[in-house]
Structure 1
């Protein structure tokens, strides 16, 4: 059974009642997930294919066999240009802080491939644990949840000792306050993205003056308000192009794009192809 984690974060994470985390094998035929964050460590271990990831405006590609760790409250997006399969593991801070009191002042990350032999060994051990957890989840055998939870605490130990660093507490607290303040703004954009949203209207949601709101939004999200709204539109359009046979003009209208020339330029900049090429399987993200 799963429940929804609902603190002041953007992506709502379905949690397993018996483990307090989310762990699953993702099979993705193609997707674009716009910039978002969550109050959880996210681990993506790519088993097949490739995945483009943008974290705090830094983009990189991971291939089969590579793993990435995203620290809580980091703005990130993902682009699956070709089918892939991955282990996705999300561990909420609310769960971690029961056992790691200072976890809210910590950041979690590692490089894969690792830069030193010692870290290479640690990353390999971490991946081996993920694979063992995957077998347990997929098997559903009697007692599997007990073994899964024992491995979960091994993961917490490794996060704390091998992949965690402390950040300046004032910076972390300020960052969390900013994210809490912008949370209702992102919700409002998500609910109204397919229509023009006047600057004065969205600034009122944030309870800020319009001029200050623009600076605040850019500081938090790394993009302007309009760029973010278009990102949401592109993610919905991308999904519909792949998963429906609807005419592209109808898809654009559904998601609020009225300027086809602008849309076509933005789509090619983001995905490296035209909507028709995407539908025909010619996507080659750069």
Structure 2
């Protein structure tokens, strides 16, 4: 566990009466690289999604699962507008109550449908959680939690292993370094940031920095920086009537061509198409 990871890129809340976060996502999305202290389970209903977890890249198809252990770097990108999935996030505190030995349990990140199919109870439990949450009939929380326990039990018995507390010490040290750089980027992204500065922050060579950054994020330093600035641009665009030029300057974006390419990759459209619609989509 990375105890020093206090800054969280994503803050996770529960769903009212259910003591976990449960969501059925039906929209196109691009989630930048981040971490949190929750375990995250994604069950792909249809369509496709690409995901990066701990530097490994996966493509999720219908019936596939992604499990992100607490404090693991990850990002997800839906491929197309029709790629719904079920998302469950469970806090560390709740996990301790449900699984007393969870601190030494590590779940497999990617479980393809062919490996889940021998355990139809997992698929049935996801379906029952989904139906219980949508109907919210009297006592639905009991049905929901009963099925959540069933999913965790089956995943624990078949797709998890126990590890020594010090088994990932070296990896955790590098992950902490990357987390420090990501926090530095998030605090200073409006300014001009360079690869040399990022490597200097950790006291290592640019070559070594590039290797470990790509290993754990699946992106280069510049790709992550561009994606983070673009995600902040998108957030500001939702609540501001400022011009695109103003929003770009506000978020440290000065290369228009790279910005448009990144924005299209992340959101499937240009800023003009999202703000004004197709009729004014010409940049």
Q: Which of the five TM-score ranges fits, normalised by the shorter chain?
A: 0.7 to 0.9
- Partners of 2:84 and 2:240 in 1: CA distance: 22
State the shift of 1:214 in Å: 4.1
Give the paired residue count: 268
Q: Aligned partners of 2:141 and 2:231: how far apart in 1? A: 35
* Unaligned ranges ≥5, structure 2: 279-283
Q: Distance in 2 between matches of 1:87 and 1:240?
A: 27
- Could you tell which deviates more after superposition, 134-143 or 61-70? 61-70
Q: CA deviation at 1:16?
A: 4.1
Corresponding residue of 1:228: 224
C-alpha distance in 2 between matches for 1:154 and 1:241: 42
Deviates more, 1:89-98 or 1:244-253: 244-253
SS at match of 1:141: coil
Give the distance between the partners of 1:17 and 1:80, measured in 2 at CA.
27
How far did residue 236 of structure 1 move?
3.6
- After superposing the two structures, state which structure 1 stretch, 59-68 or 178-187, moved more: 178-187
CA gap of 1:174–1:98, structure 2 versus 1, over 3 A, is: farther
Match of 1:54 among 52, 55, 60: 52
Give the CA RMSD over aligned residues.
Answer: 3.8
In 1, are the aligned partners of 2:74 and 2:217 still within 8 Å (CA)?
no
* Residue in 2 that maps onto 1:284: none
Q: CA deviation at 1:272?
A: 11
**Structure 1 counterpart of 2:85:** 86
- DSSP 3-state at the match of 1:137: helix
Output the TM-score relative to the length of structure 2: 0.73
Distance in 2 (alpha carbons) for counterparts of 1:152 and 1:276: 39
For structure 1, which runs of at least 5 residues remain unmatched after alignment? Answer: 1-5, 282-286
TM-score normalised by L of structure 1: 0.72
Q: Secondary structure of 1:134's partner?
A: helix
CA distance in structure 1 between the aligned counterparts of 2:64 and 2:272, rounded to whole angstroms: 28
After TM superposition, list the pairs within 5 Å mapping 1:130-141 onto structure 2.
130-141=126-137
**Deviation, structure 1 residue 81:** 3.9
Among 152, 164, 171, which residue is 2:148 paired with?
Answer: 152
Matched, 1:96 2:95: yes
Which residue among 118, 123, 147 is the counterpart of 1:121? 118
Deviations 1:116-159 (A, max 9, x none): xxx5221x321211111111112222211122222222222122
Structure 1 residue 32 displacement after superposition = 1.5
